[in-house]
Structures are given as C-alpha cells and as structure tokens.
Structure 1
Amino acid sequence: MLWTIIGWVVFGLIAGYIARALVPGKDDIGLLMTIVIGVAGSVVGGFIFGLLTVGLRGFQPAGWIGSVIGAVIVLVIYNKVTGRKRVRR
C-alpha cells in the first residue's frame, strides 16, 4: 500500500513536471500542486483514452503519454480558473 502511494506521487510529479514544461509561460505552483496536477492528469488521460477506444470504463489511470496529455489539460484549466499564468518575457 505504501509503495503504491509512493509510486503515484513519483508518477504524478514526473507527469506534472513534463506538463509544466510543455505549457508555455511561467507556472507559480509548488511541488505539491505539480504532483496533484500529474495524478489528476493521469486520471483525466485514462478517462479520455477510455472514451476514444473502448467506451466509458470509469476513471482509470493512463500510461505515460495519456498522463502527460491529461496533465496538460488539467494545467491549462487550472491556469484559466485561477488566473495564475504569467507570460515569460
């Protein structure tokens, strides 16, 4: 159980960090929010993948590519809702 949680945290951190690198502009979010965005992105990516392939299967985690795509979507929505995105100059 503990290793599963640690795995999700590491997975979320990596997916969230990649999403932050792909979305233009500076993100003023911390390590914890990066993890949350990565984990949420994995669930969103799994949901979208399920809709596009075999139909609705519920909320399932996605692989690396689906997780990063989902994390980008979650990050863009988060930035729009909070207005935290600043343009790099």
Structure 2
Amino acid sequence: MDYDFLGWIVVGLIAGALAKWIMPGKDPGGIIVTILIGIAGGLIGGYIGSMLGFGGSNSNIINVLIATAGAILLLWIYRMIKARQA
C-alpha cells in the first residue's frame, strides 16, 4: 500500500475538520459528505502540491495547509452547486 496516499487520507480528515471550522454553516450533505470532501480535498491538494514541489513527508504543517486549502475549495464548490440546484 502506498503510505503517501494513506497519509493524505488521514491529513484529509484533519483538513475536512479545519475546512468546516473555517467555513461554518449548514452543509447540504451533513457531516459524512463534509468528511468525504475533506478526504478528497486532501488527496487533490496533496497531488497538486506534490506536482508543484510543495509538501513532502517532513513538512506536516504544509501538508495540512495544502489539504485544507483543497478541502475549502471543494466545500465551496459543493455549496455553490447545491445552492443552484435548490
């Protein structure tokens, strides 16, 4: 198993919690969807950060910041899509 991938999932859980704290409010999907968005944001942020040369196994704070930024972006997009559908 790729430990970087597993690490980004764990960091994504933390990022999801931070994104929810930074962007409070009622989410259309509830806590489970917010957690999944956090994991997805962590994976996407980790991938983009790796491609740009940021992060790495020794820079945990940067990894959390990158993942949180990805989670905030996905949460914002999700809220915009759900608001248009309502």
**TM-score scaled by length of structure 2:** 0.62
Distance 1:50 1:11, change over 3 A: closer
Cα RMSD (Å): 3.0
Matches within 5 A, 1:43-58: 43-53=43-53
Identity %: 41
Query: Higher relative contact order by CA 8 Å / sep ≥ 6: 1 or 2?
Result: 2
In the alignment, is the contact (CA less than 8 A) between 1:42 and 1:66 conserved in 2? yes
Shift of 1:39: 0.4
Residue in 1 aligned with 2:83? 83
| Structure 1 or 2: more helix by fraction | 2
Q: Is the 8 A contact 2:41 2:71 kept in 1?
A: yes
Q: Which residue of 2 aligns with 1:64?
A: 64
TM-score normalised per structure 1: 0.60
Q: Secondary structure at the residue paired with 1:63?
A: helix
Query: What is the count of residue pairs matched by the alignment?
Result: 73
